[in-house]
Structure 1
Amino acid sequence: MRQVILTVIVVVVGSFVQFWAHSADRVVADGVAAQVNNNFITISDVMLMVQPAQRQLAAKYSGVELKSQMQVVFSNALNSLIERKLILDAYEKQENKFPDAYLDSRVEEITQDMFSGDKADLMTALAKEKLNYEEWRKDMRDHVIASTMRKMHVEQNIAVSAKAVKKAYDENIDRYRANSKLRLRMIVLTMDASAPQKAQEIRQKIIAGADFSETAKEVSEGRNAKEGGDWGLIQPSKLRPELAETVLKLKPGEISQVVSIEDQCYIMKVEEKKDSYSDLHSQIESEIRKVEADKLHAVWIERLRKDAYVKVFDTGLF
């Protein structure tokens, strides 16, 4: 039997203790999550990436459901790390490399954004994560390379026409309007036997010419009463469904009928709507661009996979 050279690493991740080993002709055991060409992605690499999501899921789920949710998160994180390895390997194979000055300047920009240029804060953060500066800088440099490669192979190849934006707007106008923003004022009364009648009287007073804002300051029991019932710019989809349905039908300047919902009565005024084609053009273009980017990214990664050796191991964690 050929001698197997074992490298045993104890990886402690949460409650998991894993061992892995490799030799010239085989990979043994279960501490390796995947292999991309000559690079290994360990379970600890993946678990480090999913830690924030793991804490959130653990607070929300337990038992079988937590295990199921973690399986999805783990798989997504592993795929992201595999893609990054593929991209970095592709970069190493290409003849034209990015200038060191460009990569270093981008790393400095990231440092500035994350730590306001304060290296002492950076070093403190790295110490908490038990990382040294050179490891962090290499990781940031790899991040810059991967993002720049994506920009070259994906984002720069996307063109969204005005015709495509208009078509998307026309075909999905109800959805876009529900998620657009409008400026809303609201008078809120706590529900009791007299509230519906009182609300009707207040509405009639406003219809007759009373200022909505001043009336709200006088009679509203809502949290924004002091501001004249002003909710600012808000998406209808963020409101209770009954209220959203009502405000979507209102034109700017119109006053709603009294809407009674269980514990409260509402009178609403829409002052401004930002749901026209011109208002939503940039948002729709961004959505289309993202969809196209995801498609091109998938095609690009699949092409890189075909030219690489990729093996995903059964970790047995979930």
Structure 2
Amino acid sequence: MHFKAKFLATAALSLVISTAAQAQSASDVVATVNGTDITLGEMIITRAQLPQQYQSLPNDVLFTGILDQLIQQQLLADQLEVEPARVAIALTNEARSLRAGEVITAITDGAVTDETLQAAYDERFAGAEPATEYNAAHILVETEEEAVAVKARVDGGADFAETAREVSTGPSGPNGGDLGWFGAGMMVAPFEEAVLALEVGDVSGPVETQFGWHIVKLNETRAQALPTLDDVREELTGQLQSSAIESRLTELQDAAEITMPDEGAFDPEVLINLDLLKVE
């Protein structure tokens, strides 16, 4: 065949294959078992529901494995002559759950936009004052008497960091007692109260906590920057979605006719009575 003819034939074949791939739909029949069709959509759903450890397998391996699985399931399902009540009940529950999930997805998708995120961010942080962060060091000892002696040494001119390295029993001792930066609520209450009472450069008197006795030095303070929208985007997204779902459920419940059982009509222990599923 002439080169140009071969090229055109190859191109035409590629076009046919590409067109066929594009034309595939969820209703396409992949296999038939005793007259029951297995569709491409059923395979796609099965693929999406696989445990995470199987998700990374090559698609050609998954295609064969999933098709084999569905064929085997259909062969076994065909052997069921009488369908137990529990199967129909489970299918009802599954259908209800799937339909509810679709509605939830629609609600949550509509709840989060650039505008709603910005409004939620502004509502939370409009007028908010930056929190204060503290940089402090401490010397931890076991008794009040030791703490009083440490305080006297520091007041007498001893270097705080050197004294901490020498006598502090806490893990920060080798680092001169340095605790780094922390905000409100990050330290135990007596320690935090002592820090808040200090001016920068001041050294506290003995402070007792469950860890022992502390002498605290406030090194520095700074204003903690407010988080940006990107910092809290995930949190705000979750809040907007939850709020939208709760709001919609309230609307639906208010508009619905819901009949509830009388108190005591059912013993809660009945939920574990699987024998009830055998009698319908």
TM-score of the superposed pair, with normalisation by structure 2: 0.45
Bigger radius of gyration among the two: 2
TM-score of the superposed pair, with normalisation by structure 1: 0.41
